[in-house]
Amino acid sequence: MRILNISQNHYIAGGMDRVMFDQTCILEAHGHEVVPFTAADPTDAPSPWADRFPKAARTDSTPLSEVPATLWRPRAARALANLLRDEQFDVIHLHSWFKRLSPAILPALARARAPVVQTLHDYRTVCSRSTMFRDGGICYECAGGRRWPALRHRCNGSVAKTIASLADMEIADRLGYRGIVRRFLPVSEFQRQLLRTMGLPDDRMRTLPNPVAIPARPAPPPGKGAPVLFVGRMEGYKGANLFAELARGRPDAVFAMAGEGSLHAAIAASRPANLQMLGQLDQATLAQAVAAATCVVVPSLAPETFGLAAAEAMAAGKAVIASRTGGLTEIVRDGIDGILVEPGDVRGLSDALDRILADPERARAMGVIARKRVTETYSGDRFHERLIAIYDEVMMEEAVS
Per-residue pLDDT of the chain (401 residues; tens, 9 = 90+): 999 999 999 998 888 999 999 999 999 999 999 999 999 999 999 999 999 999 988 877 666 667 788 899 999 999 999 999 999 999 999 999 988 999 999 999 999 999 999 999 999 999 999 999 999 899 999 999 999 999 999 999 889 889 999 999 999 999 999 999 999 999 999 999 999 999 999 999 999 999 999 999 999 989 888 999 999 999 999 999 999 999 999 999 999 999 999 999 999 999 999 999 999 998 899 999 999 999 999 999 999 999 999 999 999 999 999 999 999 999 999 999 999 999 999 999 999 999 999 999 999 999 999 999 999 999 999 999 999 999 999 999 988 87
Mark whether 349 and 387 lie in a shared domain.
no
Q: What is the DSSP string of 52-72?
A: GSPB----SS--GGGHHHHH-
Q: For the purposes of burial, counting CB atoms within 10 Å of the CB of 170, is it exposed (0-12), middle (13-18) or buried (19 or more)?
A: middle
> Which domain CATH number covers 306?
3.40.50.2000
Q: Classify 355 as helix, strand or coil.
A: helix
Query: Does 139 share its domain with 113?
Result: yes
- Asked if 4 contacts 93 with a C-beta cutoff of 8 angstroms, the reply is yes
Same domain for 233 and 201: no
- Picking from 174, 135, 128, 132, the residue whose alpha carbon sits closest to that of residue 151 is 128
User: Measuring CA to CA, which residue among 194, 178, 211 is closest to residue 94?
Assistant: 178
Task: Output helix, strand, coil percentages for the chain, rounded to the nearest 5.
Answer: 45, 15, 40
Please compute Rg for the chain using Cα positions. 21
> How many helices and strands (H and E) does the chain possess?
16, 13
Indicate whether 244 and 177 sit together in one domain.
Answer: no
For residue 333, count other CB atoms closer than 10 A to its CB.
15
What pLDDT is attached to residue 62? 65
Q: For residue 13, tell me if it sits in a domain.
A: yes
Distance in angstroms (rounded) separating the CA atoms of residues 13 and 60: 10
Give the number of other Cβ atoms within 10 Å of residue 38's Cβ.
Answer: 29
Q: How confident is the model at residue 277, as a pLDDT?
A: 97
- Return the closest-CA partner of residue 214 out of 378, 365, 25, 104: 378
- Provide the 3-class DSSP secondary structure of residue 12: coil
Same domain, 194 and 274: no
Please give the tally of structural domains in the chain. Answer: 2
Q: Quick check: is 275 in a domain?
A: yes
The range of the structural domain enclosing residue 347 comes to: 228-378
Does some domain include residue 340?
yes
- Asked if residue 67 is part of any domain, the answer here is yes
Burial 263-300 (b: 16+ CB within 10 A, else e): bbeebeeebeebbbbbeebeeeebbebbbbbbbbbbbb
Q: What is the pLDDT of residue 63?
A: 65
150 in the same domain as 275: no
What's phi and psi for 78, nearest 5 deg? Answer: -65, -40
Q: What's the pLDDT at 13?
A: 84
Task: Note whether residue 32 is domain-resident.
Answer: yes
CB atoms within 10 A of CB 358: 9
Instruction: In whole angstroms, give the CA distance from residue 18 to residue 137.
Output: 27
Q: What CA–CA distances, in Å, run from 313 to 83, 135, 212, 328?
A: 39, 29, 10, 12
Predicted local distance difference test score (pLDDT) of residue 261: 92
* 222 in any annotated domain: no
Evaluate whether 224 touches 247 at the Cβ level (below 8 Å): no
Q: Judge if 195 and 331 occupy the same domain.
A: no
CA–CA dist 21, 42 (Å, integer): 17
Could you report how far apart the first and last alpha carbons of the chain are, in Å?
20
C-alpha span between 253 and 312 (Å, rounded):
23
**Nearest 5°: phi and psi at 275?**
-115, 120
Per-residue confidence (pLDDT) for residue 68, from 0 to 100? 83
Give which of 398, 330, 394, 386 is closest to 23, Cα–Cα: 386
In terms of Cα–Cα distance, which of 387, 385, 366, 365 is closest to 376?
385
Assign 233 to helix, strand or coil: coil
Residue 217, phi-psi category: left (phi > 0), alpha (psi -120 to 50), beta (remainder): beta
Contact 104, 128 (CB under 8 A): no
Q: Are residue 201 and residue 164 in the same domain, yes or no?
A: yes
Dihedral (Cα; 398, 174, 111, 11), 10-degree rounding: -90
Position 218 in a domain: no
> Same domain, yes or no, for 109 and 255?
no
Side by side, the strands of the sheet bearing 320-323 are: 275-279, 255-258, 228-231, 295-298, 320-323, 338-341
Q: Quick check: is 217 in a domain?
A: no
